Structure 1
Amino acid sequence: MSNTNASSASPRTVRAGRWLLLAALIALWQWSHLKLGNHTIAAPLQTVERVWQLTASGELWTHIEATARVSFIGLVLGWIAAVIVSFALYRSERLAAALEPYLLASMGIPKFALAPLLILWFGIGAAPKVVVVSLMVFYVVFVTALSGLRAVDMRLFAMSQLVGASRWRVTREVLLPSIVPYMLSGLKIAIPRAISATVVGEFLVADSGLGFYIEQSRQTADTVGVYAGLVIVTVLVLCSDALLGLLERRLLAWRPGASLHGGH
Structure 2
Amino acid sequence: MTQQQMPTAPTVTLACGIAMPRVGLGTWPMDDAGAAVAVASALRTGYRHVDTAERYGNETGVGEGLRRSGVPRAEVFVTTKFEKEWHSVPGVRTACEASLRRLGLDYIDLMLVHWPNPDQNRYVEAVEGLVRVMEAGLIRAFGVSNFKPAHLQRVFDAGFTPHVAQIQLDPSHRRDDLDAIHRAKGIVTEAWSPIGRGGDLLREPAVTAAAAALGRTPAQIVLRWHIEHGYVPLPKSSDPQRQRENLALFDFSLTDAQRAALDSLDRPDPKMLDSDVFGH
Q: Same fold (TM over 0.5)?
A: no
Higher helix share: 1
Higher strand share: 2
- Structure ID, larger Rg: 1
With normalisation by structure 1, the TM-score equals 0.26
Considering Cα pairs closer than 8 Å and 6+ residues apart, tell me whether 1 or 2 has the greater RCO.
1
